């Protein structure tokens, strides 16, 4: 893959120059770092491929191999800075979808050099007509972004609380271990019991202490969740319309019972999936490769679908 990385201007490759770095500008065409320094020594110049006027400061490292992808990503970031309306800014979902379609059309035109003048004029008119709205939207988060911020803040609080609880528990555990060691030393020095019996009792006490520590950690984790009033996903209770209160009881009703669907195929019954191989239907079907089998694909499935389509409608009469 490294051998395919090549500067289109000087022909230098990653194989011959391991430190080769390709850079792109607003036009999307790549140049190596050496060519950029040489061609844009004065700070500005023209792209060798499309003759677009470029500035040296606007060059950045290329992230994608396809220059069109790199160009589209750059254009999309630039367009979304101004076309930043949210769904709640529109009276209906259809208007919002039309707005999103307009954005995609603009990005496509600029990426593929389609109606550049008309597209740029459309962008300029939009900026003039929505100048105030653009400034307000830049400092306003959408509902999804607000929910993500709440989740991140809740996760930070839970992590901090867990850390404090773990530190406290570790201190208590260290103190208990010191007491056990001192107790073991005293018993070995002054007790009349054998050393083996004393060590066995000490090991049992250590196991009991370890079990109690595990239970305490589980209780502390549960306490942390209850104190933060959050679900296991980290969603805060009562923080907006997209979250639910755990104390609200759901309406009672009959339990859902699954019923397998029945289809009228107007034809003979199709052989069962298990009987396809025993009846010889797979003799003329290409066997699944190792890669197919690894992905859970069996030749029984397409053969069964083909038989269903073949049998469907054979008894149908107009």
Mean pLDDT for the stretch of residues 177-200: 78
Residue 102 CA from chain centroid, whole number? 26
Q: Are residues 126 and 167 in the same domain?
A: no
CB-based contact 80:102 (threshold 8 Å): no
Q: Are residues 118 and 166 in the same domain?
A: no
Q: Are residues 198 and 221 in the same domain?
A: yes
205 found inside a domain:
yes
Closest CA to 158 of 244, 218, 217, 229: 229
Reported as a single tens digit per residue, the pLDDT across 63-81 is: 777 777 878 888 888 888 8
Phi-psi region of 60 (alpha: psi -120 to 50; beta: other; left: phi over 0): beta
Q: Are residues 7 and 42 in the same domain?
A: yes
Residue 241 has pLDDT above 60, yes or no: no
176 found inside a domain:
yes
Taking the C-alpha atoms of residue 270 and residue 312, their distance in angstroms, rounded to an integer, is 9
Q: Are residues 129 and 168 in the same domain?
A: no
Residue 154 CA from chain centroid, whole number? 19
56 found inside a domain:
yes
* End position of a domain, from candidates 172, 202, 228: 228
Q: Are residues 147 and 221 in the same domain?
A: yes
Side-chain half-sphere of 194: how many Cα atoms within 13 Å? 3
Q: Are residues 131 and 147 in the same domain?
A: no
Parent domain of 126: 81-138
Q: Compute the chain's Rg from CA coordinates.
A: 34
Q: Are residues 159 and 111 in the same domain?
A: no
Mean pLDDT for the stretch of residues 289-311: 84
How does residue 223 score in pLDDT terms, banded at 50, 70 and 90? low
Q: Are residues 88 and 164 in the same domain?
A: no
Residue in the block written with tokens 């208007």: 95
User: Which pLDDT does position 230 carry in this prediction?
Assistant: 46
235 found inside a domain:
no
Q: Are residues 159 and 123 in the same domain?
A: no
Residue 242 has pLDDT above 50, yes or no: no
Q: Is the pTM of this model over 0.85?
A: no
Taking the C-alpha atoms of residue 1 and residue 20, their distance in angstroms, rounded to an integer, is 13
238 found inside a domain:
no
270 found inside a domain:
no
* End position of a domain, from candidates 173, 197, 228: 228
22 found inside a domain:
yes
Mean pLDDT for the stretch of residues 257-279: 83
Mean pLDDT for the stretch of residues 85-112: 87
Side-chain half-sphere of 221: how many Cα atoms within 13 Å? 8
Tokens describing residue 120 = 């740029």
236 found inside a domain:
no
As for how many domains the chain has, the answer is 4
Reported as a single tens digit per residue, the pLDDT across 105-132 is: 998 988 888 888 888 898 888 888 888 8
CATH number assigned to the domain comprising residue 54: 3.30.40.10
Which residues, including other chains, have CB under 8 Å from residue 275's CB and lie 6 or more apart? none
Closest CA to 228 of 293, 153, 165, 143: 153
CB-based contact 295:277 (threshold 8 Å): no
User: Which pLDDT does position 68 carry in this prediction?
Assistant: 77
Residue in the block written with tokens 């320094």: 37
Q: Are residues 223 and 148 in the same domain?
A: yes
Closest CA to 111 of 48, 46, 64: 64
User: Which pLDDT does position 16 carry in this prediction?
Assistant: 80
Q: Are residues 178 and 220 in the same domain?
A: yes
Residue 134 has pLDDT above 70, yes or no: yes
Taking the C-alpha atoms of residue 24 and residue 22, their distance in angstroms, rounded to an integer, is 7
């Amino acid at each position: 893959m490294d051998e395919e990385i090549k500067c289109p201007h000087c022909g230098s490759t990653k194989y011959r120059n391991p430190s080769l770095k390709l850079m792109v500008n607003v036009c999307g065409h790549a140049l190596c770092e050496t060519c950029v320094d040489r061609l844009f020594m004065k700070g500005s110049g023209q792209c060798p491929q499309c003759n677009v006027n470029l500035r040296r400061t606007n060059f950045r490292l290329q992230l994608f191999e396809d220059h069109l992808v790199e160009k589209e990503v750059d254009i999309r970031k630039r367009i979304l800075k101004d076309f930043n309306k949210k769904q709640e800014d529109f009276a209906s979902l259809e208007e919002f979808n039309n707005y999103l379609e307009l954005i995609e059309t603009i990005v496509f035109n600029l990426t593929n050099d389609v109606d550049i003048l008309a597209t740029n004029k459309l962008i300029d008119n939009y900026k003039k007509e929505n100048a105030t709205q653009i400034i307000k939207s830049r400092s306003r988060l959408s509902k999804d972004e607000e929910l993500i911020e709440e989740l991140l803040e809740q996760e930070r609080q839970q992590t901090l609380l867990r850390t404090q609880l773990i530190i406290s528990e570790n201190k208590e555990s260290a103190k208990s271990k010191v007491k056990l060691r001192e107790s073991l030393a005293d018993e070995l020095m002054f007790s009349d019991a054998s050393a083996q019996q004393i060590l066995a009792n000490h090991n049992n006490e250590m196991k009991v202490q370890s079990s109690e520590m595990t239970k305490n950690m589980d209780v502390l984790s549960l306490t942390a969740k209850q104190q933060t009033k959050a679900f296991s996903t980290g969603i805060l209770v009562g923080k907006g319309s997209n979250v639910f209160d755990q104390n609200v009881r759901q309406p009672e009703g009959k339990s859902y019972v699954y019923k397998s669907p029945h289809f009228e195929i107007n034809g003979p019954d199709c052989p069962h999936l298990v009987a396809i191989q025993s009846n010889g239907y797979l003799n003329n079907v290409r066997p699944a490769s190792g890669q197919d089998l690894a992905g859970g694909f069996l030749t029984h499935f397409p053969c069964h679908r083909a038989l269903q389509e073949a049998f469907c409608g054979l008894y149908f009469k107009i």
